[in-house]
Structure 1
């Protein structure tokens, strides 16, 4: 755990924390190695098969596991020792690259092996993603957290700028086995850094969640959060159409532009350089545009690049276009990810971000496969044009589905009193029915029910699986709110999940209560 420090300033202040600095540097090296591996695999598949579908399947194999496993990975990051879990994943990924090294060196690598091993590598990426994001608050003081998140984004784009270009040069000079070997070496540094980090053991808690319970809680939150739904919708439509250029880029470089493996690496390096430039200009852009404007700008830039590539421009111009693509990509990525983080409370942030990653990678996987099949029928240039037009259309259509501002106070309010119990209750007992009794004037009933409808979203997000309001048949002023929670432990967790914003919603409903004192709360356990 990071020790208390004086208030820091500056973008690079988190690097003053030794553990964060070492892990950040190791992560940059690891990502450089991963990009080298990805360049080798993406280019090697064009040697093994000329089919656009086979090329697109590499992208699908890399992203589909993240779509399938991101949510379980988010749960695991909350209930396992994160340091040991990360070491296990790094060793698994090192095994994948070692296998690719041996197969490519012996000349026995086939398209089927390449896709299968890329899929296993995608599993490792799925397990690692939420966990890396979750450890950042452990490494820096609170005032440096935003800077640490920004540095992580910068580190990824530094790796994106260096890794593909270096991978392309190594691939062209020494072959795929050398590129895979460099990736294996990068895992040595990452594992060494994780072994060096002496993470304090987490304190045991009587309310610790198990896997299935945490999984259900994350799904309940996702199902009930309308703000998260809007973010997921906007992310899905953007990445579904923007994936066309990523799925077909190896064929664009090789067939349309007549480039070599080294040139393909330069193109990907230009994307990374554009992403770094985008990260540097984002503060200025945020002062002029809101989140919706930034996503629209990113969509138009990406569509323009796709449209220009259709014309098979000179290589130097293609490098410039890929630089602009990186600029647009990082604008969309950081905007959507930032909004998702801003609307998620701490207790479910890992699982909520895992759902976001699921949608992101699901859209990329489905889009990559779909665009590959389309290119098989109509060719790469017309497919890029279709993707560009589609991206502009959906960007304008869904611009009206406004992204949330993320300005609500999501810190725990802890304003619910501890429930009264006649005797100790086992945590696994349930389900629990909670009743809250109000007295509401007839003239206030419509406004009260509207406030309760808004409050119901909070109940369902924080742990309830059913909710409703009923009226008393013998007393028209007497209304009863009820909701069910799956266990006594989950209801106790619900007490600690209610935020200040949720407390404001509850106060809005309670102000209509005319009975003596506060509304009465009752708890019932199933027998």
Structure 2
């Protein structure tokens, strides 16, 4: 690092902004509820079916809508008030979660209806994502933007640390319907905070939906730095999806565990994510994005080997912790790279394309690896996932290196 290079801002600097602080706390509560619902849905599917593919599709159904709808959601985020878009998405997810609670309580849930509800929540997530990520610029100054993105990631993964264990405990004591109901309630606080938040923004310049989408796609296709970020996101998303998508099956079939065991594994993943989010800023500042992205891909791949080779709970929990740190380090680095290289007027569209590529790859990876597990075995699916991550991490460092610090950068 050059002596003239200023040190990075404090990781907690964004909390100086009242709007960011209030939204962060409300988002933490909402993420907690979402993680509880995610655990409940995945474990409920293991009670409804023995199919590894259907179990993996619970994870895929939450990300498929991002692949299909994110580009439209990005255009909506740039054409309309982003706060209102988030309010609409949060309200829709509240209604769907309440309906899922009722259907489960009435014992009217089936594998297909459970996938329908998770798809519907995924549609709300797809609509909310671009507006949510683009609104971070309205909450903090440009210098604190990377730290704000990391803190939002920490909120998600802090919930991921506590939510799964709490979800597993709730399921074992009061059942899945109560877990779904708690998630429905968790949306209310965030909706209230968004109703009270009134950022000063210029009215968006509206264009036709197809024209707006075409503009965003054209920018991402023609910007070489952005295009390389998207390639790295796709490669990682496809390979890394196998761990979370197959984890319920691994816990049930190889560890012979309960819903509490599953929650413990997810909690370890979340705890590792928090550590990764706190450390990735300094690592990126010291070694650069390309080295960080390559390293965390290899680390994630290494973490899956003990899961495939052993049936030890201790090894699985340790591997989940390491994988969680690598996961969040990768996604935070990619997100920051996109935000710093996307024009404000099309920011929502650029971030939606990033989401569509990365999370669409996760949905495709979850489906493919779930199918391989059904046709062959769970270890075989994990070995293929590991090989993919190692191969792409090495190859893409030469074919699609991450942008250098000042390459294509639009924010100071």
TM-score bucket of the superposed structures, by smaller chain: over 0.9
Deviations 1:378-411 (CA, angstroms, capped at 9, x unpaired): 1111211222122212222222121211414755
Distance 1:175 1:31, change over 3 A: same
- Give the Cα–Cα distance (whole angstroms) in 2 for the partners of residues 59 and 409 of structure 1: 34
1:166 and 2:180 equivalent?
Answer: no
How far the C-alpha of 1:122 sits from its partner, in A, is 0.6
Deviations 1:428-460 (CA, angstroms, capped at 9, x unpaired): xxxxxxxxxxxxxxxxxxxxxxxxxxxxxxxxx
- Give the Cα–Cα distance (whole angstroms) in 2 for the partners of residues 375 and 338 of structure 1: 34
Deviations 1:38-79 (CA, angstroms, capped at 9, x unpaired): 110011001000001111111221111000111111111111
Distance 1:204 1:81, change over 3 A: closer
Deviations 1:299-356 (CA, angstroms, capped at 9, x unpaired): 2211112111112342122211110111111121122222222322323222111111
- Give the Cα–Cα distance (whole angstroms) in 1 for the partners of residues 109 and 341 of structure 2: 45
Q: Give the alignment's Cα RMSD to 1 decimal.
A: 2.0
How far the C-alpha of 1:360 sits from its partner, in A, is 0.6
Equivalent residues of 2:160, 2:270 under 8 A apart: yes
- Give the Cα–Cα distance (whole angstroms) in 2 for the partners of residues 296 and 411 of structure 1: 24
Moved more, 219-228 or 109-118: 219-228
Could you tell me the TM-score, scaled by structure 1's length?
Answer: 0.73
Equivalent residues of 2:233, 2:357 under 8 A apart: yes
- Give the Cα–Cα distance (whole angstroms) in 1 for the partners of residues 13 and 237 of structure 2: 33
Aligned to 1:34: 34
Equivalent residues of 1:93, 1:124 under 8 A apart: yes
Aligned to 1:13: 13
Higher relative contact order, chain-length normalized (CA < 8 Å, sep 6+): 2
- Give the Cα–Cα distance (whole angstroms) in 2 for the partners of residues 409 and 369 of structure 1: 34
- Give the Cα–Cα distance (whole angstroms) in 1 for the partners of residues 89 and 339 of structure 2: 24
- Which structure carries more helix by proportion? 2
Aligned to 1:350: 348
Aligned to 2:259: 261
Aligned to 1:394: 392
Which of 225, 242, 246 does residue 227 from structure 1 map onto? Answer: 225
Equivalent residues of 2:23, 2:190 under 8 A apart: yes
Moved more, 245-254 or 145-154: 145-154
- Give the Cα–Cα distance (whole angstroms) in 2 for the partners of residues 295 and 10 of structure 1: 22
Aligned to 1:461: none
Aligned to 1:24: 24
Aligned to 1:407: 406
Equivalent residues of 2:225, 2:408 under 8 A apart: no
- Give the Cα–Cα distance (whole angstroms) in 1 for the partners of residues 13 and 307 of structure 2: 40
Aligned to 1:277: 275
Equivalent residues of 2:69, 2:126 under 8 A apart: yes
Equivalent residues of 2:277, 2:328 under 8 A apart: yes
Could you tell me the TM-score, scaled by structure 2's length?
Answer: 0.93
How far the C-alpha of 1:150 sits from its partner, in A, is 2.4
- 1:119-130 to 2 correspondences below 5 Å: 119-130=119-130
- Give the Cα–Cα distance (whole angstroms) in 2 for the partners of residues 85 and 208 of structure 1: 14
How far the C-alpha of 1:287 sits from its partner, in A, is 4.9
- Which structure carries more strand by proportion? 1
- Give the Cα–Cα distance (whole angstroms) in 1 for the partners of residues 304 and 408 of structure 2: 40
- Secondary structure of residue in 1 paired with 2:10: coil
- Give the Cα–Cα distance (whole angstroms) in 1 for the partners of residues 259 and 327 of structure 2: 23
- Secondary structure of residue in 2 paired with 1:310: helix
Distance 1:331 1:203, change over 3 A: closer
Aligned to 1:135: 135
**Structure 1 residues without counterparts, runs of 5 or longer:** 1-7, 413-499, 501-527
Which of 363, 366, 379 does residue 365 from structure 1 map onto? Answer: 363
- Give the Cα–Cα distance (whole angstroms) in 1 for the partners of residues 338 and 60 of structure 2: 24
Deviations 1:365-384 (CA, angstroms, capped at 9, x unpaired): 11111111111111111211
Distance 1:285 1:11, change over 3 A: closer
Equivalent residues of 2:251, 2:257 under 8 A apart: yes
Aligned to 1:382: 380
- Give the Cα–Cα distance (whole angstroms) in 1 for the partners of residues 329 and 145 of structure 2: 20
Equivalent residues of 2:372, 2:380 under 8 A apart: no
